Structure 1
Amino acid sequence: MNTSPETSRQVVERMLVAGRNSDVDTVVELMAPDGYIEWPYRPAGVPGRLAGRAQIREFLTRTAKGFIRFHEYRDVVIHETLDPEVTIVEYAAHGTVIPTGAPFEQVVIAVFRVREGHVVSYRDYLNPLPLAEARATLKG
């Protein structure tokens, strides 16, 4: 029986599926206990950093199904780096703005650091403009 931890790429692939499906339990399970998620570029109201499983779970539970539902990730490119812990992913997330039914598209570059089968850091470099525009339509 193979008990070696998954590769960084395998963990990231699972994280992408969980994120697309708003599967908070799997996202939290894949995070290291002291792991963090960061959004260096984000619209107002989105935290810059979530640290630890409890904070990640609380935020994702509150937001995962309420505003945008993702249907698919397109043009996914996974870059394995010389550092076996680091994987970079590029993709376009397609979905729907739930309150309005409007289509939603978000371009993302994410940098993951995976150690012993768990994500220790996840930097999500999303384009903040589509999210800000979708939020503005609710206020207008």
Structure 2
Amino acid sequence: MTATSRDVVERVLRASRDLDVETFVGLMAPDGYIEWPYRPPGVPAQVRGRAEIRRHLTATAEAFIRIAEHRNVVVHETTDPETIIVEYEAHGSVVATGAAFEQIVIAVFRVRDGQILSYRDYINPLPLLDALASITGGTHA
């Protein structure tokens, strides 16, 4: 039996938090993509395909921010069985300084036949900019 869209999304969020790149990539469709409509400078707008996603996740895993847990996770199932919307808070730390990091996320997933076709990650870029400023001594103004 194919996993439900909700099951797939819950597994990819867990893999993301646990830095389990292979499980994460395995849940993506071969030509699936992750995109960040709102992102700080230096973050790509989109990564597409398993090889590119694997490369991106491997390069960024724990490089800057380490997420320890997701809190207040709310999963919204829609009238379209392929579309799932997830709201959550990501809590962790800035790797270089150990400072606390908190991020509010809304993500929209399209899932078909147990694989993620698209993962649109609407992050708030301001906490990332603040964390970067704490390392470099700059401001994000």
The interval holding the TM-score normalised by the smaller chain is over 0.9
What fraction of aligned residue pairs are identical, expressed as a percent? 65
Q: Which residue of 2 aligns with 1:11?
A: 8
How many corresponding residue pairs?
Answer: 137
Deviation at 1:50, TM superposition (A): 0.3
CA distance in 2 between partners of 1:40 and 1:33 (Å): 21
Q: Equivalent of 2:90, from 49, 71, 93? A: 93
Residues 6-58 of structure 1 deviation map (CA, whole Å, 9 limit, x = unaligned) = 01000000011011111111110000000000000000000000000011000
Any stretches of 5+ residues in structure 2 without a counterpart? none
Tell me if 1:56 matches 2:58: no
CA distance in 2 between partners of 1:81 and 1:98 (Å): 36
Tell me the TM-score normalised to structure 2 length.
0.95
Residues 62-101 of structure 1 deviation map (CA, whole Å, 9 limit, x = unaligned) = 0012111111101100000000000000000000101100
Tell me if 1:36 matches 2:51: no
Q: Equivalent of 2:80, from 83, 90, 94? A: 83
The amino acid that maps onto 1:102 is: A
Any stretches of 5+ residues in structure 1 without a counterpart? none
The amino acid that maps onto 1:66 is: A
CA distance in 1 between partners of 2:59 and 2:89 (Å): 23
Residues 95-138 of structure 1 deviation map (CA, whole Å, 9 limit, x = unaligned) = 01011000000000000000110000000000000011111111
CA distance in 1 between partners of 2:59 and 2:69 (Å): 21
Runs of 4+ in 1 over 3 A off after TM superposition: none
